[in-house]
Amino acid sequence: MNSPEDKHTLVTPVDTPRRTFRQFLLTLLFNSIIALILTALGGQFYINIIISQCIGLSIFSLHALALHTGYFTTRLQHLLMTIVMITLGAMFGTYIAEQILKWGYGVVLGLSGQGYYNSILLGLLFGTIISYFFYSRYRILETENQAKAEQLARMQREKELTEAQLKLFQAQIEPHFLFNTLANVGSLIESAPAQAKGMLDSLNQYLRVSLKRTREEATNLGQELELLQAYLSILKQRMQQRLDYSIVCAAELYALPFPPLLIQPLIENAIKHGLEPKIEGGQIQLSIEKNAQGLLIQVVDNGVGLNGPWHPGVGLNSVHQRVKNLYGDEARFEVASNPQGGVSAVISIPQQTLERLDESASQ
Amino acid sequence: MSPPVSKAIIADDEPALRNYLREHLQQMWPQLQICAEVDNGIEALQALEQHNADVIFLDIRMPGLDGMQVARAYEGNTRIVFVTAFDQYAVEAFEQHAVDYLLKPYTDERLQETIRRLHEIRETRPELAAVETILANKTRQPELPLRWIRVTRGEQVQLINVTDVLLFQSEDKYTSVYCRDAEYLIRTPLKELEQVLDKELFWRVHRSAIVNVARIEKAKRLVDGRYRLSLAGMDEVVMVSRGYGGLFRHM
């Protein structure tokens, strides 16, 4: 978490046996090429190839072993380790080559002093070039992996967003609510025409705001409250003394840009799962406050609470996802039971987030 | 010919709908006597047991007990006509099982049809069990994969969205749920959680740990080949046991 390198550890390509084997083959190839170059410059091929293979393979093995410990995670650690391993490998490889030539071919190189250093220096030179080659390949792989991981994350976010939006539109006008309200209007037309008209007016307003909102990109808090007012007023007429509600929001907040269907599902849940199942009914309080900390939206009911057989469904999921998608991780959405019964659903959006969105909107 | 039905109960939580049904029944079926009107499931059940009525018009969504629960609990001979507003699952359930039901808002003609059926058919006891299974499968099961966890803190019950959870760790009898700024205990064992969580988002990395993949910040490989995970927003590290190491090898 401290260095920028660490952030990418998760997408660092880990050496699989297959990749290691491929690197081994490449090392053999490089060693042979070096031997050819040295032969072209002078000297005998079999001596050169033994020396270069010994040095190359020593560096390769030492480096692979050191990497396998897993201790070298940052780029700097890795670089230092590689330098040390190239030096050690060059020395060790030279020694081995000397022994092989001496016992196998009876060739005494007689590398002492200057000759020995030259051999190690050559080893260092080629070791560095080859290590750099491997390092670049590794960086390319790393970048590819990172890009893949980012793409995956982006796809996941997009998928969630579409899914949330889809469910949102499905959930917009609940058929049970619509048909039950129509049944009420129908049943009141003959016996209580004035009441029927009142309910029809509320339904009219509810549907108009609902439809208007699906066609508009930008909506504000005032529209959302108009919708909720119509919705709750219909339910009040249907449930009569079983429902009381209050909406508290300062008038200067009405113009605040506000996404649709954040508060509505919370109100619907409070009715459907909190108050409808409760015989004596109860209250819903919606309050919206803005202070120095930010925006606080609370939906509090005194219904049956969270202990029932009910399971959170589409409504809460879409609110949770939308809060995160629209306002980021600092915004909170909390659902908990109240000490005195019922449920509180709270959305809080920090001031900084509101300001940030404000800036990006005005740009 | 069966003897004419004469006593009825109306159970609906909305007064306007009760009034409407009563008035229309009185017009269309003058011999019928409404012996009780109730606005919740518990009173509906009491009325059923008390009045020995011939028919009950039973709303499904009602406080106390819902209409299905009432029907399940009642064992007498009163015929049941379900009354419900558009509810896709209920409608589907009824359509498959020849139960008499009225879909709100209903027309006079449809109510007349129900009355005709009540006259004709002696037994309209619905196949409740079958209907219930359909309803239960569609409405009562928690959505899978699991998205919300119910946690208790003292008296308070709280819902936690699984995407906010960093780590589930099994303790003695409980499972610890670690979030960014809080820790909770639940009774669901890890084994059960593993079954219901989204397998792409939550990985079992140890006998006693399930991590939220999206919150893994760093997976470090140790000398012995195991991995050590750091999670965003949590100081403690999580060890991946050898058997689960394969999950990280190809990341």
Residues of B numbered 138-157 whose beta carbons fall under 8 angstroms of chain A's beta carbons: which are they? 140-143, 147-148, 150, 155-157
Q: What is the dihedral of CA A111, A112, A118, A122, to 10 degrees?
A: 50
| Mean pLDDT of the A230-246 span | 94
As a whole number of angstroms, the distance between CA A286 and CA A267 comes to 8
Q: Do A239 and B86 touch (CB under 8 A)?
A: no
Q: Which helix (H) or strand (E) holds B190?
A: helix B190-196
> pLDDT tier at A325 (50, 70, 90 boundaries)?
confident
What is the pairing mode between strands B55-59 and B7-11?
Answer: parallel
CA A9 to chain centre: 16
Q: Is the model's pTM score more than 0.80?
A: no
Which among B57, B221, B234 is the top mutation candidate for probing chain A, defined by the most A β-carbons within 10 Å of its own β-carbon? B221
Q: Is the pLDDT of residue A3 over 80?
A: no
First to last CA, chain A: 33
| Mean pLDDT of the A255-280 span | 90
Average pLDDT value for chain B = 84
What is the number of CB-based contacts under 8 A between chain A and chain B? 136
Give the CA distances from residue A200 to residues A179, B157, B196, in Å, rounded to whole numbers and listed in that order: 12, 38, 44
As a whole number of angstroms, the distance between CA B220 and CA B238 comes to 10
Spell out a b/e string for A223-246, using b for 16 or more CB atoms within 10 Å of the CB, else e: bbbbbbbbbbbbbbbbbeebbebe
First to last CA, chain B: 76
Distance from CA of A291 to the nearest CA of B (A): 23
Using a CB-CB distance cutoff of 8 angstroms, which residues of chain A are in contact with residue B221? Answer: 14, 70
Nearest CB neighbour to A183, from listed B17, B155, B222: B17
Question: Which of A52-61, A162-171, A345-354 shows the lowest per-residue confidence on average (mean pLDDT)?
Answer: A162-171
Distance from CA of B12 to the nearest CA of A (A): 11
Q: What's the token pair of residue A72?
A: 């070298």
Using a CB-CB distance cutoff of 8 angstroms, which residues of chain B are in contact with residue A335? Answer: 158-159
Of the spans A19-28, A185-194, A312-321, which averages the highest pLDDT? Answer: A185-194
| Mean pLDDT of the A331-340 span | 92
Q: Which helix (H) or strand (E) holds A301?
A: strand A294-301
**% of chain A exceeding 70 in pLDDT:** 88
- Closest chain B residue to the Cα of A282, Cα to Cα: B63
Contact B190, B175 (CB under 8 A): yes
Contact B53, B97 (CB under 8 A): no
User: Which residue did the predictor score with more confidence, A187 or A175?
Assistant: A187
Q: Do A14 and B251 touch (CB under 8 A)?
A: yes
Q: Is the pLDDT of residue A298 over 70?
A: yes
A232: closest CA among A194, A262, A279, A266? Answer: A266
B25: closest CA among B107, B100, B112, B124? Answer: B112
Q: Is the pLDDT of residue A314 over 80?
A: no
Domains and CATH numbers, chain B: 6-140 (3.40.50.2300), 148-248 (2.40.50.1020)
Distance from CA of B204 to the nearest CA of A (A): 17
